[in-house]
């Protein structure tokens, strides 16, 4: 078995690392404090080809598959997670590329890589997080249009997005509940759309998060993703699984960034006449952290490779996301401990990583949901 990355992947990984170190490092604390989306950095990322790299060449992308996004996300989150979430400017394009009509692909997919659009995926609602069957936003057919009404919560890029894909009920009385839902492409400049920025988040503050409102918002029938209604559940599960891999990359990236900060600190900090790194107890902590990162990264890369090679494995995706999220939290906690009191100072940056890490265990499927998915795949039953 060959576990090595291709030459293109190695070059992309190096370029992403250099870009993040060059663009994020000096401004990360500022964007975190202001809770502001880094628009200028996003534009530069688009110019350098870091956004929507999974989009096929015929639709304006690089055609590098989902592994490319994993590698970029990992390197960006290694430096700063809040700014690093600019990778999600193409959020939702996965569904359009996989399920959209040819006209939708040609019209919408070129926008994100070219820096002409920021996208978001609007699924979660105030009373419907992991339980997507509780979604209440409706899309009612009215002639050649659909009328959308409802609210969404915790939507990434909500106030900065020019385009969204919105998960709605189109057949509320359908006997098969998986056929009740559909996805729609929505331009946010349409009348009836409102976005309210959610401030005061614990972490990833430079990543825009919002509550959305749709009030009699009208879209043309051709905004329905795909050819027919009722395919939304299949589409949202596909989108979730792809983005669980991106979340796993976030967990690996933030863990790598944290251990590097810890190693830098313990190699210089002297206690009782010796550097912290000379003590066996500290060495054990580093060994445990590094081992978990390696295991998480191997699962992540394997899951990504399988998807790009047409061998999607939902159990492995869930495992990768679960373990990478836990690893990110664990390593950031240990890294902060190794910094001692210095870890509580903003200038050292480890406190920000500590705050940022927890979200990976929550969004794109909480860790409890991942465990349910893993168990069902193993046991082969629904309950």
* Beta strand 209-220 pairing with 163-169: unpaired
Q: Are 311 and 339 in contact (CB under 8 A)?
A: no
The two tokens of residue 80 are: 């700063």
For residue 217, CA distances in Å to 110, 124, 191, 356 come to: 25, 18, 6, 34
Residues 32-47 as b/e (b if ≥16 CB within 10 A, e otherwise) read: beebbbbeebbebbbe
Instruction: Record the tokens describing residue 273, joined without a space.
Output: 């006449």
DSSP codes joined into one string, 166-185: EEEES-TT-SSGGGSEEEEE
The single residue listed with the structure tokens 């009740």 is 180
Question: β-strand 145-156 against 209-220: which pairing, if any?
Answer: antiparallel
Structure tokens at 347: 């200038």
Token pair in block for residue 87: 């990778």
CA 173 → CA 130, 135, 141, 180, 181, distances in Å?
Answer: 21, 14, 15, 7, 11
- Taking the C-alpha atoms of residue 166 and residue 122, their distance in angstroms, rounded to an integer, is 5
What residues contact 332, with CB distance under 8 A and at least 6 apart? 254, 255, 258, 350, 353, 354, 356, 357
Residues 292/255, Cβ–Cβ less than 8 Å: yes
Examine the residue annotation and report whether 364 is marked as an active-site residue of this protein: yes
Q: From the candidates 35, 364, 368, 370, which is the catalytic residue? A: 364
Closest CA to 12 of 67, 92, 93: 67
Q: What are the E-state strand segments in the chain?
A: 119-122, 138-142, 145-156, 163-169, 181-187, 193-197, 209-220, 270-271, 274-275
Give, as one character, the DSSP assignment of residue 59: G
**Residues annotated as part of the active site:** 364
């Amino acid at each position: 078995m060959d576990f090595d990355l291709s030459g293109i992947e190695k070059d992309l990984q190096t370029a992403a690392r250099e870009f993040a170190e060059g663009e994020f490092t000096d401004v990360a604390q500022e964007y975190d404090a202001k809770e502001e989306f880094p628009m200028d950095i996003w534009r530069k990322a688009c110019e350098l080809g870091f956004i929507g790299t999974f989009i096929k060449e015929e639709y304006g992308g690089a055609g590098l598959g989902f592994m490319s996004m994993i590698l970029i996300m990992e390197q960006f989150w290694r430096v700063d997670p809040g700014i690093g979430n600019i990778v999600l400017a193409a959020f939702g394009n996965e569904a359009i590329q996989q399920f959209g009509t040819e006209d939708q692909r040609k019209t919408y997919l070129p926008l994100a890589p070219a820096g002409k659009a920021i996208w978001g995926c609007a699924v979660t609602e105030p009373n419907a997080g992991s339980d997507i069957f509780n979604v209440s936003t409706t899309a009612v057919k009215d002639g050649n249009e659909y009328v959308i009404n409802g609210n969404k919560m915790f939507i990434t890029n909500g106030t900065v997005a020019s385009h969204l894909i919105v998960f709605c009920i189109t057949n509320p009385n359908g006997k098969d509940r998986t056929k009740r839902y559909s996805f729609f492409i929505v331009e946010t400049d349409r009348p009836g759309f409102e976005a309210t920025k959610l401030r005061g988040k614990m972490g990833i503050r430079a990543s825009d998060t919002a509550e959305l409102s749709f009030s009699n918002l009208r879209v043309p029938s051709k905004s329905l993703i795909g050819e027919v209604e009722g395919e939304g559940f299949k589409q949202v599960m596909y989108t979730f699984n792809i983005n669980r891999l991106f979340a796993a990359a976030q967990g690996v990236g933030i863990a790598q960034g944290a251990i590097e900060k810890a190693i830098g600190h313990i190699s210089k900090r002297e206690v009782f006449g010796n550097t912290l790194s000379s003590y066996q107890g500290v060495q054990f902590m580093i060994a445990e952290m590094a081992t978990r990162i390696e295991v998480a990264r191997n699962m992540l890369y394997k899951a990504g490779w399988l998807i790009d090679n047409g061998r999607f494995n939902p159990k492995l995706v869930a495992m990768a996301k679960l373990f990478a999220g836990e690893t990110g939290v664990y390593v950031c906690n240990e890294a902060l401990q190794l910094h001692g009191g210095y870890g509580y100072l903003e200038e050292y940056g480890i406190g920000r990583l500590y705050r940022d890490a927890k979200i990976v265990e929550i969004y794109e499927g909480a860790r409890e949901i991942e465990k349910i998915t893993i168990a069902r795949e193993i046991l082969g039953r629904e309950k």
